[in-house]
Amino acid sequence: MGNLLKVLTREIENYPHFFLDFENAQPTDGEREVWNQISAVLQDSESMLADLQAYKGAGQEIRDAIQNPNDIQLQEKAWNSVCPLVVRLKRFYEFSLRLEKALQSLLESLTCPPYTPTQHLEREQALAKEFAEILHFTLRFDELKMRNPAIQNDFSYYRRTISRNRINNMHLDIENEVNNEMANRMSLFYAEATPMLKTLSNATTLFVSENKTLPIENTTDCLSTMASVCKVMLETPEYRSRFTSEETLMFCMRVMVGVIILYDHVHPVGAFSKTSKIDMKGCIKVLKEQPPDTVEGLLNALRFTTKHLNDESTSKQIRAMLQ
């Protein structure tokens, strides 16, 4: 019995655990410069989500135009419906570029020597909270995007119409707003099932490759520590009781899933292998203990947007837990 207790204690000790104050963390003087820079980006995140949630698309107008190719009025109606939507899609895409820069600044701050990633996250809780907010936004954005096929349809129609008008030598005002090069980049972005997550994965991978003097473990340990801290806060009644809002629990779960996915994309062997520094069984168990309708989207994110789940090195038990 004593030996079993020792093993369990050692297992807990292997994973960092401390309370990360997602509700009230305030920046210290040392954090303030980076914190201000990230805050300026994050202040637009809620309006982006509200805009995406309200996105209805121009499906009917496009169908009418396609079915009646010789009706000029219907062609104009479809075009006039799609153009403002494309401007909105451009705004989302440009926000992803700002988020990419913000994440790289945060990673720089949270991984630099002499502190370990665990010490950084514990000492610089306001920056850790902003990192969490970026992940929280990302998962919410991608959930909404996945449920809205109109985005792809509208953008495809826009590109087809632009090409056709180019053939007819027509110049369109919107080309000043979304030119061919911008349309190509946006097209690649929206072709992804989870475009914001893909942006963050690419940004993290780029950060690792550009900072050759920084061991990759500094970055992956930052991600695995964040996952462990979220898991421990969710499963420890003493920590959970310190949250004043139910929303914080959902926030914590989204952040945990977000860092697992990032870790899985950036770490050479991913989050699911035996050598992973993330307790995947524990993380999945915590999710499965919540009401199914609140976590189905998060479990799906682990099933479909991770890179290594189906590797041979992933244990059958973990695969079975996610089936």
How far apart CA 140 and CA 177 sit, in angstroms, is: 27
Per-residue pLDDT band at 58 (split at 50, 70, 90): very high
Write out pLDDT tens, residues 270-286: 999 888 999 999 999 99
Could you report the per-residue pLDDT of 88-105, keeping only the tens digit for each? 999 999 999 999 999 999
Considering the entire predicted model, what is its pTM? 0.87
Q: Please report the pLDDT score of residue 6 as a whole number.
A: 34
Least confident segment among 48-52, 170-174, 253-257: 170-174
Q: What confidence tens digit (pLDDT) does each residue in 194-253 have? A: 999 999 999 998 998 888 888 888 888 889 998 998 998 898 888 888 888 888 888 999
- Residues 289 and 135 sit within 8 Å (Cβ to Cβ): no
Q: Using CA atoms, how far apart are residues 167 and 184, in angstroms rounded to an integer? A: 18
Going by C-beta distance under 8 Å and a sequence separation of 6 or more, which residues neighbour residue 117? 110, 111, 218, 219, 221, 222, 225
The position carrying tokens 């050598």 is 275
DSSP letter string over 12-71?
HHHS------TTT----TTTHHHHHHHHHHHTTHHHHHHHHHT----HHHHHHHHH-TT-
pLDDT confidence of residue 113: 82
pLDDT of residue 81: 94
pLDDT over 90 (residue 16): no
Q: What pLDDT digit, counting tens, does each position of 106-117 carry?
A: 999 988 888 888
Residue 21 has pLDDT above 80, yes or no: no
Is 200 within 8 Å of 151 (Cβ atoms)? no
